[in-house]
Amino acid sequence: MPGDERQINVKGWVRSRRGNKNVSFIALNDGSTIKNIQIVADSEKFSDEVLRPITTGACISVTGKLVESMGKGQTVEIQAEEIEVYGTADPLTYPLQKKGHSLEYLREIAHLRPRTNTFGAVLRIRHNMAIAIHTYFHEHGYFYFHTPLITASDCEGAGQMFQVTTKNLYNLKKDKDGQIDYSDDFFGKMAALTVSGQLEGELGAMALGKIYTFGPTFRAENSNTPRHLAEFWMIEPEVAFIQKDELMDLEEDFLKFCVRWALEHCEDDLQFLNDMFDKGLIERLKSVINTEFVRLPYTEGINILQEAIKNGKKFEFPCNWGDDLASEHERYLVEEHFGKPVIMTDYPKEIKAFYMKLNDDQKTVQGTDVLFPSIGEIIGGSVREEDYDKLMSEIERRQIPMKDMWWYLDTRRYGSAPHAGFGLGFERLMLFVTGMQNIRDVIPFPRTPKSAEF
Ligand code: 4AD
Ligand code: MG
């Protein structure tokens, strides 16, 4: 408290030091908040020799009195009585000198960028969003279910898996057909990093009723876009006994809870990002929690897009019935046509994964993706095919190797039940909540094609 004469101690990293021959002002930050504390060091107490190593990036410990500040910009400051320098940062080589480094440059020094205001804010928000997610599910009776990261099955069937092996790649044993023999590999079969915890998550839901996963997933998709990572975190709830409408209710309620949580718990950091990068950020967050999401069957979406094309709208990619929507299409629907989030449903089965519940038209499946402004797809979800025969015929049609799926099929063989779930890309949520434009800037150490530094 100001006026309290007790000594306090603060430790942190120097953001800047300025002043004159009588006094130095040090802006110190310990990472706990976007706000710095001002340290006032009188030249009478501290010689030039003590002050000289206190440069941007140095780490110091300061003991002194917390007093009311006469200056502008802060209400309190610390009148330093003792300063200990823990670590210096040579001004000639320390890469974070001036303010306003570009985000591209900061990516090259991802080991130091958490010390910037921007990344401090993003990383504190990231923490808070993780807490929001666990809080939501815990309060709604879900169990946190840990699915394996190493797996032998390709949930999405897109062939984008990173292989895991202890084999000597210089000397691979092949069988008589020229195929690699995995029988003597670590797992005795081909194994890979998971693209999704869903299949095991379904096993959890078929026993515990409501589960969610929250862990890293990996995709070797060679798409160098601002929305794709090779290693990203996914949240996957899976729920027994719900149908499509309840799944969409869950998606909407959950996303609104997370966004509201950010507004309530990350005020200073959001204000900083709003002021520095994106003047519409806080307004956009508020508008999402105050609006009802549109629920739009794919077929109607295609009609809207084709109508737009007729009226002169130009898209790079085609969008005829049966095509997978590109992010330009998703964003047109969300940002221009409706001006709010859209839950798109009932996609052609050919563009979706094998496990989705088939509609009576035999052509579409009960997918429920959520499309967000400035992001595009943020959630991919669906009702699952619970009927053994229908699921089996889809597996056969797609020639998915049966011997790898026996355990999954058992859920449909024994006590099968209607169930549904979705996957939220954590970094896509982070993009939305922070207003950052590139997914590489919302995870501490991004993994993308040709990039695994740090
Ligand atoms: O739509 P996807 O591929 O769905 C699944 O994996 C389902 N098994 C989820 C489920 O139903 N349990 O991925 C889900 C979400 C996407 O909507 C997107 O937000 C995110 O994961 N995502 C990525 N995020 C970053 N980088 C990538 N390469 C991503 N691929 C998907
Ligand atoms: Mg998807």
Question: Residue 87: how many CA atoms within 13 Å on its side-chain side?
Answer: 7
Which tokens hold the place of 132? 């929001």
427 C-beta closer than 6 A to ligand 1: yes
Determine the atom of ligand 1 nearest the C-alpha atom of 221: 28
Q: 90 and 58 in contact (C-beta within 8 Å)?
A: no
Arithmetic mean of pLDDT over the chain: 95
17 C-beta closer than 6 A to ligand 1: no
Least confident of 142-146, 234-238, 263-267, 392-396: 392-396
Which ligand approaches the C-alpha of residue 218 most closely? Answer: 1
156 C-beta closer than 6 A to ligand 1: yes
Letter for the amino acid at 331? R
Distances from the Cα of 445 to the Cα of 158, 231, 434, 440, angstroms: 25, 10, 17, 8
Mean pLDDT of 67-75: 88
Distances from the Cα of 280 to the Cα of 124, 284, 431, angstroms: 20, 6, 14
Dump the DSSP string for 149-172: SEES--TT-SS-PPEE--S-TTS-
Confidence of residue 222 (pLDDT cuts 50, 70, 90): confident
How many whole angstroms from 233 Cα to the centroid of ligand 1? 9
How many whole angstroms from 278 Cα to the centroid of ligand 1? 26
Helix H or strand E segment including 61: strand 59-68
How many whole angstroms from 381 Cα to the centroid of ligand 2? 8
383 C-beta closer than 6 A to ligand 1: no
Return d(Cα 420, Cα 405) in angstroms, integer. Answer: 19
- The protein residue with its alpha carbon nearest to ligand 1, atom 18, reads 425
* First-residue to last-residue Cα distance in the chain: 41
- Is residue 361 exposed (0-12), middle (13-18) or buried (19+ Cβ within 10 Å)? exposed
Model confidence pLDDT, tens digit, residues 310-368: 999 999 999 999 999 998 999 999 999 999 999 999 999 999 999 999 999 999 999 99
Determine the pLDDT at residue 217: 98
Determine the pLDDT at residue 158: 84
Which ligand approaches the C-alpha of residue 377 most closely? Answer: 1
Return d(Cα 277, Cα 268) in angstroms, integer. Answer: 14
Question: Residue 120: how many CA atoms within 13 Å on its side-chain side?
Answer: 16
341: Cβ contacts below 8 Å, ≥ 6 apart: 252, 255, 288, 291, 293, 294, 334, 370, 371, 372, 373
Determine the atom of ligand 1 nearest the C-alpha atom of 230: 28
377 C-beta closer than 6 A to ligand 1: yes
Determine the atom of ligand 1 nearest the C-alpha atom of 237: 12
29 C-beta closer than 6 A to ligand 1: no
Return d(Cα 54, Cα 69) in angstroms, integer. Answer: 21
380 C-beta closer than 6 A to ligand 1: yes
Confidence of residue 4 (pLDDT cuts 50, 70, 90): low
Q: b/e for 302-325, b at 16 or more Cβ within 10 A?
A: bebbeebeeeeeeeeeebeeeeeb
Model confidence pLDDT, tens digit, residues 426-453: 999 999 999 999 999 999 999 999 999 9
Distances from the Cα of 368 to the Cα of 326, 348, 371, 406, angstroms: 16, 12, 10, 26
Which ligand approaches the C-alpha of residue 325 most closely? Answer: 2
Greatest Cα pair distance in the chain: 85
User: Nearest 5 degrees, angle CA 298-CA 304-CA 308?
Assistant: 140
Determine the pLDDT at residue 155: 87
378 C-beta closer than 6 A to ligand 1: yes
221 C-beta closer than 6 A to ligand 1: yes
- The protein residue with its alpha carbon nearest to ligand 1, atom 11, reads 422
- The protein residue with its alpha carbon nearest to ligand 1, atom 27, reads 228
Residue closest to 132 by CA, chosen among 442, 440, 373, 424: 424
Distances from the Cα of 231 to the Cα of 61, 131, 221, 439, 448, angstroms: 37, 20, 10, 11, 8
Return d(Cα 251, Cα 15) in angstroms, integer. Answer: 41
How many whole angstroms from 83 Cα to the centroid of ligand 2? 54
Which tokens hold the place of 305? 């897009």
Residue where the block lists tokens 């020639």: 399
How many whole angstroms from 156 Cα to the centroid of ligand 2? 9
- The protein residue with its alpha carbon nearest to ligand 1, atom 22, reads 425
Model confidence pLDDT, tens digit, residues 7-46: 999 999 999 999 998 999 999 999 999 999 999 999 999 9
Return d(Cα 301, Cα 40) in angstroms, integer. Answer: 61
Return d(Cα 452, Cα 454) in angstroms, integer. Answer: 7
Determine the pLDDT at residue 3: 57
- The protein residue with its alpha carbon nearest to ligand 1, atom 19, reads 425
Q: b/e for 432-442, b at 16 or more Cβ within 10 A?
A: bbbbbeebbbb
Determine the atom of ligand 1 nearest the C-alpha atom of 198: 12
Determine the atom of ligand 1 nearest the C-alpha atom of 199: 8
Return d(Cα 252, Cα 366) in angstroms, integer. Answer: 16
367 C-beta closer than 6 A to ligand 1: no
How many whole angstroms from 211 Cα to the centroid of ligand 2? 20
User: Is residue 98 pLDDT above 80, yes or no?
Assistant: no
Q: Report the predicted TM-score, pTM, of the whole model to 2 decimal places.
A: 0.96
Mean pLDDT of 173-196: 93
Instruction: Using a pLDDT cut of 70, give the percent of the chain over it.
Output: 99
Choose the residue to mutate in 234, 258, 374 for probing ligand 1, maximizing ligand atoms within 8 Å of C-beta. Answer: 234
